[in-house]
Amino acid sequence: MATRSTIGIKNIDGSITNIYCHWDGYPEHNGTILNEFYKDNDKIKSLMALGDLSSLAAEVGEQHPFDRDYDKPELDLYDNWCMAYGRDRGEKDVGAKTHANIEQWIGFREGSWCEYAYLWDGQSWLVHSIGNNTKDEYGSFIFDFVDKKVVDNAVN
């Protein structure tokens, strides 16, 4: 079963540009990949430019077959590339979306069964458990640093 997530970047005006990711959205997988391989703003923008993903990987990669043909050997290189619905399967209307603020972004993604929201704040990756939707005393959603969440999940 899929663990869906959304990956977003906070823009200068406070809006959130974001994409959907279908597989392995839990912090130990997607959170770790984002934390280890997506620390450069240009690479993160390239990730957003892919639009919605089937799966996140260490490299944005290039267009490649969406479905494996097990009768023909394929390059292992694909295993390290993101799998994008638009680029790799030719789907339409799967580009990144921009919401005015975090609340609108989380509200929109709740309807897509996303369990985790990852946010690049310009310096660090943060994560929010959407099903929890815990807010602070000011009414803002609570995000943790991804590396802290991975450790907390390993301990608990």
| pLDDT tens, residue by residue, 78-88 | 779 999 999 99
Domain that holds residue 66: 5-155
CA 107 from centroid of its chain's CA atoms:
16
Q: Give me the mean pLDDT over the 14-21 stretch.
A: 97
Q: Is the pLDDT of residue 75 over 60?
A: no
Select the more confidently predicted residue: 101 or 66: 101
Buried b / exposed e over 12-29, threshold 16 CB at 10 Å, is: eeebbbbbbbbbbbbbeb
Q: How many separate domains does the chain show?
A: 1
% pLDDT > 90, the chain: 70
**Confidence at residue 72, expressed as pLDDT on a 0 to 100 scale:** 63
The tokens describing 32, both together, are 């770790």
Q: In angstroms, what CA-CA distances link 82 with 88, 94, 103, 123, 151? A: 9, 14, 27, 22, 25
| pLDDT tens-digit readout, 39-55 | 999 999 999 999 999 99
